[in-house]
Amino acid sequence: MTETAAAAFVRSRGKMESRYRRRVFSDLVVRVIGYAVFAFMIGLLLLIVGDVALRGLAGISFGMFVTVGNTSSGGLANAIAGTWELVGTGLVFALPVGVFGALYLSEYSTRNTGGVLRLFVDILTSIPSIVLGLFGYLVLVIELNMGYSLLAGGLTLGVMMIPYIMRISEISYSNVPREMREAAFALGANSMQLSFSLLLRQARTGIMTAVLLAVSIAAGETAQLMYTALFNNDYTSSLTHQPVAYLTYVIWYSLNQPTQYAHALAYSAALILVASIFFLLLLSKYVERGR
Amino acid sequence: MSVVIETRNLNVNSGSQQILSNVSLAVAGSAINTIVGPSGSGKSTLIRTFNRLTDLYPRLRVGGEVLFHGKSVRDYNVMELRRRIGLVFQKPNPFPMSVYDNVAFGPRLHLSLKKAEIDTLVEESLRHAGLYDEMSGNLDKNALELSGGQQQRLCIARALAVQPEVLMMDEPTSSLDPIAKSKIEDLMLLLKEEYTVVLVTHDIDQANRVSDTVKLLYNGRMVEYESPEVLRMPEYEHARQFVMKLAR
């Protein structure tokens, strides 16, 4: 800085001080907005969860967890079991496709093929679940003759889970430091060996987070299951040609019933679902922090 | 001395930026071949053309010839080439796994070995890298818990475990304290008995201490190609300026 510029800079101290006041004020404004948004979000969450918890807890009983029900009487055991059977079936399909798709995107794809695949996957995320349900109905239930079933419902959920698992896993793979990849290549590894001996191992917490997120989203789906799993008043023991019960259906259907018991059942189902998803999200945060 | 690696009119560019211009050099067997030069002079890129690690960066265009035992590196299977020409990096980069698994990583890539054979390889490699006495009985320890100097010697052991002929070291001591640094320098002098060592450094004193031959790279060009003594009596203006700057 030249002598005159430095002198001029020091001379404008008065101007600086008025600027300081403005800067402190604008900082305060942004801080207040931040706190307000924070309070609004917390309030909204408490309102929803609180409402579900209060009404749900009132009707919940141990019997609900062990007896099957038909949405207006009985318990929720078949719906709880069915929900996790459907999500589990979806995961068996979505996990390998997502994890290996992500490996392809991160290690093998060219700029063009990777771009096209990412675009498709992103479009898949934005397809409304009712459309996926319709696809599941026409292709799996009718065309492939699976009937309303665990397999049809699970696969449709799986299609929805793939993009979450693939994109989050891809980020985890690309977070593996370049130095580590170079070290593996310098020892004579090829891309496949790099993927299996290093990337999968390094990205496992990321993949776990992706899986938990996809599972929580899938567990809350209704529309696509109404077309593919229908509902079952009992447990489901077959992969095909036997409908499946699930919690979101109980919530949707029981609330439209004219009995108090059905309403209580709906809120209990909602509470169980929200609590399970909440637990899964907490678990995914815990897993993420453990990395 | 026999020539192990040779480059002829090697040019490397990344887009419009010329990284190496007409570099011709020979790497002598069973010796410490040092390449010195300031940051950004292309030293790391140069040695990465030897094991074709430059292939990982599609933007880099490599022209001219790189020969390993008289045969173009392009004519080798790249996995085989990289097994035979090992590389130790500037920053210690052990894998986030046990000491044992780090050293066993390379051998497992190339051969399916019995547990006992891997055990022997791991022990020998750690001994060669001067780490066995410190680590024996502690091979299950996570490599990331070792000190910087130990991590770098582990990386040397990892590179040695695949039985290379050439060991390239890219500023291996630049992130280490003086004690760890002198241990690695002592190790280099031992290693040259069995391996051809290529050392990249910007530390003139280190080059003087350990080198058998020194090549000076400046702005992507080879400007000296003599014995280490030349660093004390440079004839080229650029080299003199560079050495004076570093000696200060």
Q: What is the pLDDT of residues A126-137, one digit of tens each?
A: 999 999 999 999
Looking at CA atoms only, how far is residue A208 from chain B in angstroms?
A: 18
Exposed, middle or buried, B227 (CB in 10 Å: 0-12/13-18/19+)? exposed
What is the pLDDT, as a whole number, of residue B248?
46
Q: Measured between beta carbons, which residues in chain A are less than 8 angstroms from residue B89?
A: 179, 182-183, 186
What is the pLDDT, as a whole number, of residue B238?
62
Residue B53 is nearest to which of A185, A193, A198, comparing CB atoms? A185
C-alpha A258/C-alpha A73 separation (Å) is 12
User: Shortest CA distance to B52 belongs to which of B15, B81, B14, B10?
Assistant: B81
Q: Measured between beta carbons, which residues in chain B are less than 8 angstroms from residue A181?
A: 56
* Structural domain count of chain B: 1
The amino acid occupying position B41 is S
Are B53 and A182 within 8 A, CB to CB?
yes
Which residues, 6+ apart, have CB-to-CB distance to B149 below 8 Å?
Answer: B176, B177, B179, B180, B181, B183, B184
Residue A256 CB neighbours (<10 A): 11
What is the pLDDT, as a whole number, of residue B162?
93
C-alpha A228/C-alpha A88 separation (Å) is 15
Are B106 and A188 within 8 A, CB to CB?
yes
Are A183 and B79 within 8 A, CB to CB?
no
User: Shortest CA distance to A64 belongs to which of A81, A51, A52, A48?
Assistant: A81
C-alpha B14/C-alpha B16 separation (Å) is 6
The string of DSSP letters for A224-242 reads HHHHHT---SS----SSSS
> Structure tokens of A19?
């600027």
pTM above threshold 0.95: no
C-alpha B134/C-alpha B151 separation (Å) is 12
C-alpha A221/C-alpha B217 separation (Å) is 63
C-alpha A122/C-alpha A127 separation (Å) is 9
Edge-to-edge order in the sheet of strand B166-170 = B85-88, B166-170, B196-201, B32-36, B213-218, B221-226
Residue spans of chain B under pLDDT 50? 248
CATH number of the domain that residue B222 is part of: 3.40.50.300
The string of DSSP letters for B40-88 reads TSSHHHHHHHHTTGGGG-TTEEEEEEEEETTEEGGGS-HHHHHHHEEEE
> Structure tokens of A269?
């189902």
C-alpha A284/C-alpha A290 separation (Å) is 10
Looking at CA atoms only, how far is residue A133 from chain B in angstroms?
A: 43
Return the percentage of chain A with pLDDT > 90, whole number: 68
The amino acid occupying position B168 is M
Residue A185 is nearest to which of B56, B91, B97, comparing CB atoms? B56
Residues 131-190 of A with CB under 8 A from B: 177, 179-190
Angle of helix A260-289 relative to helix A13-59, nearest 10 degrees, comes to 130
Residues 187-226 of A with CB under 8 A from B: 187-190, 193, 197-198, 201-202
Residue A182 is nearest to which of B56, B79, B106, comparing CB atoms? B56
Q: How confident is the model at residue A79 (pLDDT cuts 50, 70, 90)?
A: very high
> Structure tokens of A180?
């580590």
Residue B109 is nearest to which of A179, A187, A202, comparing CB atoms? A187
Residues in chain B whose beta carbon is closer than 8 A to a beta carbon of chain A? Answer: 51, 53, 56, 79-83, 86-87, 89, 91, 93, 95-97, 105-106, 108-110, 155, 158-159, 162
C-alpha B128/C-alpha B121 separation (Å) is 10
Straight-line distance from the first to the last Cα atom of chain B, in angstroms, rounded to the nearest whole number: 34
Residue B184 half-sphere exposure toward CB, CA atoms < 13 A: 32
DSSP 8-state class, residue A141: I
Q: How does pLDDT run across A162-185, given as a tens digit for each residue?
A: 999 999 999 999 888 888 999 999
Residue scoring higher pLDDT (B176 or A120): A120
What is the pLDDT, as a whole number, of residue A250?
93
CA-based max dimension of chain A: 88
Residue B93 is nearest to which of A183, A193, A201, comparing CB atoms? A183
Torsional sign, CA A138, A143, A147, A150 = negative
The amino acid occupying position A6 is A
What is the pLDDT, as a whole number, of residue B38?
81
Q: CA nearest A203 in B: which residue?
A: B96
Test the B interface: residue of A110, A172, A179, A187 with most B CBs within 10 Å? A187
**How far is CA A230 from each of CA A74, A152, A249, rounded to the nearest angstrom?**
18, 10, 9
The string of DSSP letters for A9-31 reads HHHTHHHHHHHHHHHHHHHHHHH
Q: How confident is the model at residue A15 (pLDDT cuts 50, 70, 90)?
A: confident
Given the structure tokens 């699976």, which residue do they identify?
A146
Q: What is the β-pairing status of strands B166-170 and B196-201?
A: parallel
Radius of gyration over every alpha carbon of chain A, rounded to an integer in angstroms: 26
**Is residue A148 scored above 90 in pLDDT?**
yes
Q: Measured between beta carbons, which residues in chain A are less than 8 angstroms from residue B102?
A: none
What is the pLDDT, as a whole number, of residue B226?
60
Q: Measured between beta carbons, which residues in chain B are less than 8 angstroms from residue A179?
A: 89, 91, 93
> Structure tokens of B31?
């010796």
DSSP 8-state class, residue B143: G
Q: How confident is the model at residue A91 (pLDDT cuts 50, 70, 90)?
A: very high
User: Shortest CA distance to B24 belongs to which of B2, B1, B40, B7?
Assistant: B7
Residue A176 CB neighbours (<10 A): 19
The secondary structure element, H or E, covering residue A33 is: helix A13-59
Are B155 and A183 within 8 A, CB to CB?
yes
Q: How confident is the model at residue A12 (pLDDT cuts 50, 70, 90)?
A: confident
Phi, psi of B61 (to 5 degrees): -105, 120
Q: How does pLDDT run across B30-42, given as a tens digit for each residue?
A: 899 999 888 888 9
Q: Measured between beta carbons, which residues in chain A are less than 8 angstroms from residue B91?
A: 179
Strand, coil or helix: B30:
coil
Given the structure tokens 């660093």, which residue do they identify?
B231
Q: Report ipTM (2 d.p.).
A: 0.90
What is the domain range of residue B140?
3-247
